[in-house]
Structure 1
Amino acid sequence: MKPLSLFNRILILIAALTIIPSYFTPLWQISLWAPQYPEGLNMKIWIDHLSGNVDQINGVNHYIGMRHIGDEMFPEFCFLIYVIGGLIAMGLAAFVIGRRWSLYGFFALIALFGMGVLVDMYRWGYQYGHNLDPKAAIKVEGMSYQPPLIGYKELLNFLAYSGPDTGSWILIGGACLLILAIVRDKMEKSIPLTK
């Protein structure tokens, strides 16, 4: 099987290296705005912890019966560092191997990881927004408070936003480099060889 071009292998290497910042930058963010919080409340989700206005968000959510948010709510924090490390290792291996199957395999792993994160975020948001304390001070019949997976959503007098943060945008950029490598590889394969 014909090896990948040097340019495409470099794209794989850069894509693998773009995963490293996910150890040092927030991956996801959830923000809330309301008349009493015009500056907004923000929670950032990192590879192994939460940061931001978590205590204030917990204080607001307590009145409508939502569970306390804490690092313990995310068992993913215990193993995500290893999953990310495995992705980096697979990317470096794909660069060294330099074959078409290694490029496609690495891209498939990145895509599966991205889909897994979205499914996991949806599952967490659903459970968090629907499993409410029946003894809550404020109850609105039939109302759930599931935050949006991506984008904006009105929740009572709050505007909620959820979406990728710095680390995820860098990862998305790395995935785009892999797509570029795949497109280039297909184009190189379709160009007839000339003597």
Structure 2
Amino acid sequence: MRRRINYLMLIASLLLVLLFVFPLWRITLTAPQYPDGISMFIWINKITGDNEYTLQNINILNHYVGMQYIVPESIPELTYFPYIILFMTAAGVAVAFTNNKKLIGTWLVTMLILGILGIYDFYLWEYDYGHNLSDKAPIKVPGMAYQPPLLGTKMLLNFKADSYPHWGGAVLGLSIILSYVALIKSRFSHEKS
């Protein structure tokens, strides 16, 4: 039983490394001029698109309504989030070899708090991005804000914006679930002994 707990916690921790391989989130814009849609991918350490011109095209569209340019190098979270993930991976690996239910619980709670803070930070970024509009915008629609949805679908003028977790988000969720299972098994194991 204890080996299973160790393996679960080890897998939960090592899964976090995949956040450098897969994007966390995907925002897709679809409109008559983009019937196939253009997608922006938010990673733990960068922002990319369907191709090398995606961000440039999104920034051109944003210019018309006065939205800020997306400049990944200017987003501090993309610099320090990788270090947090690497720390949590190392901490999780260390916890995996302790068989200590309190440490497993602490790791799990820390991951949940980090996840909630990350989603809140993402919401604040989207809010600023969609509400802090330039007065010099060529197209002005009174009362209109262009905040993409945090989760789900929203119409922004003639653009349909879809915002959902991507493979990295699924991996993060799986990591949290596995650590929760390890915690439950750890508690059950301690009760039996």
- Normalised by the length of structure 2, the TM-score is 0.92
1:43 aligns with 2:44: no
Q: Per-residue deviation at 1:190?
A: 5.0
Query: What's 2:24 paired with?
Result: 27
Give the Å deviation of 1:189.
4.6
Q: Is 1:149 aligned to residue 146 of structure 2? A: no
* Cα distance in 2, alignment partners of residues 184 and 72 from structure 1: 42
Letter in 1 for 2:3: L
- Greater displacement, 91-100 / 176-185: 176-185
Aligned counterparts of 1:142 and 1:189: Cα–Cα separation in 2: 58
- State the distance in 2 between where 1:70 and 1:42 align: 16
CA separation in 2, counterparts of 1:54 and 1:128?
A: 14
Structure 1 residue 72: Cα displacement: 2.8
Equivalent-residue separation in structure 1 for 2:98 and 2:186 (angstroms)? 15
Bigger CA drift: 179-188 or 66-75?
A: 179-188
Asked if structure 1 preserves the Cα contact closer than 8 Å seen for 2:101 and 2:187, the reply is: no
Pair 1:17-2:18 in alignment? no
State yes or no: 1:118 paired with 2:115: no
Structure 2 partner of 1:81: 82
Q: How does 1:1-195 map to 2 (within 5 A)?
A: 5-52=2-49, 53-190=54-191
- The DSSP-based 3-state class of the residue aligned with 2:12 is helix
TM superposition shift of 1:75? 0.8
- Give 1:16 shift: 0.4
Using the TM superposition, give the Cα deviation of residue 24 of structure 1 relative to its aligned residue in structure 2, in angstroms: 1.9
Report the CA distance between 1:184 and its aligned residue: 2.5
Q: Distance in 2 between matches of 1:187 and 1:80?
A: 34
Determine helix, strand or coil for the equivalent of 2:164: strand
* Contact map agreement 1:42 1:54 (CA 8 A) in 2: no
Bigger radius of gyration among the two:
1
Distance 1:66 1:99 in 2: 49
Q: What is the CA distance between 1:44 and its match in structure 2?
A: 0.8
How many residues are aligned here?
Answer: 189
Alignment RMSD (CA, Å): 1.5
Q: What TM-score comes out, normalization by structure 1 length? A: 0.91
- 1: distance between equivalents of 2:43 and 2:86? 15
SS at match of 1:18: helix
The 3-state SS of whatever aligns with 1:104 is helix
